[in-house]
């Protein structure tokens, strides 16, 4: 077996002399670290994701450096986050960030320094994997070490989807084992064991996620409003729902009646917002589907209109949604445009290059309890809730 050996001459002083005497240390000249490196087997099979795992001090970072350069991405902080991805087209940059689970439009427009730890980490990952050329091995040290563990799982799931879809190679070093079933790596390596290990079969099903959805009051919107891509305004006549995962708020939905001369008992999804830390798991689409099926169970039909590409992707391939209209250019509300500083000096409406798609729910009605839909007034979670499984 091959080893990486690191030797360092000890500079002796009164502190080192104390250690020698107190702990009976014989070697007083140098320290030696030996790390087994046995990654050659990875060249014998096709792979996309490898993980080097172990506790602190086991040699994970040293092993990564043997595979290539570990570089830190530097973001310009005087421009919007998305503007740092200037080797891509504008559309490609939005698709890259969305595919890494960083799909919040307001986040794209903020400088890097104003992002949360989780958002900064996803931005860094997006930069690394987006810059990598075909055939390069992407190296990431201390993977998910600085983020909440639920966020780490969401991040891992979004990353592995992107890496496999684009057939790239990435090696991650981590001291956390809870991300393995979300990453589903093709191989793992522990410096303590000194051997490459391959799962007998990578699991095809995703880990189970339990969500709880509740009716909520208008005040819950304060948690989510800064992440909505158009406006922080919300009609107080909406029926509002909040979704929790492990007792943490992750998503918000709002529903309004849809008065229309040709539509009877129509309702529309007015808001669907998932907090940035939990994007990439498909929560927004799942909750929208679930609510639409609950409304159908009480004789109502759900409609939705959105400019969000992630929700297009979900609904375009779903047999439960029918595309009703697609508008490529749409007039914007004057007040919203003023807020976004897109109106001209005369206050005239401008047109934006935007696509909006409208859909109608044609899926089955839910068999679950419809109390959260039928109640007339918004109430807190201890009064009515539904529990659903993500996968």
- The more confident residue out of 230 and 274 is 274
Q: What is the mean pLDDT of the chain?
A: 84
pLDDT for the residue numbered 353: 52
Contact call for residues 282 and 250 (beta carbons, < 8 A): no
Q: How far apart are CA 322 and CA 302, in angstroms?
A: 11
Give phi and psi for 86, each to the nearest 5. -80, 0
pLDDT of residue 123 exceeding 80, the answer is yes
Residue 207 and residue 386 in contact, taking contact as beta carbons nearer than 8 Å: no
User: Per-residue pLDDT tens for 188-242?
Assistant: 999 888 888 987 655 555 678 889 999 999 999 999 998 887 677 899 999 999 9
> Quick check: 381 and 216 in contact, CB under 8 A?
yes
Q: State yes or no: pLDDT of 88 exceeds 50.
A: yes
pLDDT class of 355 with cuts at 50, 70, 90:
confident
**Six token digits for residue 200:** 């007998």
pLDDT at 311: 79
Assess if CATH 3.40.630.30 describes domain 210-389. Answer: yes
Q: What is the pLDDT of residue 351?
A: 39
What is each CA distance from 16 to 7, 8, 28, 33, in whole angstroms? Answer: 17, 14, 8, 18
269 or 35, which is more confident?
269
- Record: fold of 38-197: Rossmann fold (3.40.50)
Q: Does the pLDDT value for residue 36 go beyond 90? A: no
What is the mean pLDDT of the segment spanning 91-103? 88
DSSP code, position 260: B
What's the pLDDT score for residue 338?
47
Q: Which residue has the higher pLDDT, 149 or 261?
A: 149
Helix 309-316 / helix 90-99 crossing angle, nearest 10 deg: 70
Helices first, then strands: H and E counts in the chain: 12, 15
| pLDDT of 334 | 44
pLDDT band at 57 (very low <50, low <70, confident <90, very high): confident
Q: Is residue 175 predicted with pLDDT exceeding 70?
A: yes
pTM of the model: 0.75
How many residues make up the chain in this entry?
Answer: 391
């Amino acid at each position: 077996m091959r080893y990486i050996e690191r030797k360092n001459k000890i500079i002796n002083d009164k502190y080192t002399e104390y250690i020698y005497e107190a702990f009976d240390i014989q070697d007083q000249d140098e320290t030696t670290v030996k790390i087994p490196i046995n990654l050659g087997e990875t060249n014998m099979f096709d792979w996309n994701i490898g993980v080097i795992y172990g506790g602190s001090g086991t040699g994970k970072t040293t092993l990564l450096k043997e595979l290539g350069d570990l570089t830190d991405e530097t973001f310009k902080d005087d421009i919007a986050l998305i503007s740092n991805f200037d080797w891509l087209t504008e559309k490609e940059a939005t698709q890259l960030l969305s595919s890494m689970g960083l799909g919040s439009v307001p986040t794209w427009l903020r400088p890097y320094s104003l992002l949360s730890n989780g958002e900064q980490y996803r931005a860094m990952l997006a930069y690394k994997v987006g810059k990598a050329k075909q055939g390069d091995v992407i190296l990431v040290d201390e993977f998910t070490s600085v983020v909440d563990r639920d966020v780490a799982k969401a991040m891992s799931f979004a990353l592995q989807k992107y890496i496999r879809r684009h057939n790239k190679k990435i090696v991650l070093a981590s001291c956390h084992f809870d991300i393995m079933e979300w990453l589903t790596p093709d191989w793992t390596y522990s410096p303590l064991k000194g051997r490459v290990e391959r799962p007998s079969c990578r699991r095809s099903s995703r880990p189970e996620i339990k969500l709880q959805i509740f009716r909520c009051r208008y005040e819950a919107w304060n948690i989510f409003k800064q992440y909505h891509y158009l406006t922080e305004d919300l009609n107080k006549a909406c029926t509002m729902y909040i979704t929790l995962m492990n007792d943490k708020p992750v998503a918000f939905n709002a529903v309004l009646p849809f008065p229309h001369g040709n539509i009877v008992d129509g309702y529309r999804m007015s808001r669907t917002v998932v907090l940035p830390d939990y994007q990439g798991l498909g929560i927004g689409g799942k909750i929208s589907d679930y609510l639409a099926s609950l409304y159908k169970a009480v004789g109502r039909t759900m409609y939705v209109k959105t400019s969000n590409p992630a929700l297009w992707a979900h609904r375009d391939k779903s047999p439960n949604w029918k595309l009703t209209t697609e508008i490529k250019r749409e007039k914007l509300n004057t007040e919203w445009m003023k807020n976004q500083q897109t109106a001209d000096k005369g206050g005239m409406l401008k047109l934006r290059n935007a696509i909006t798609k409208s859909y109608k729910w044609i899926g089955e009605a839910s068999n679950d309890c419809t109390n959260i839909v039928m109640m007339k007034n918004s109430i807190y979670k201890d009064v009515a809730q539904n529990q659903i499984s993500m996968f």
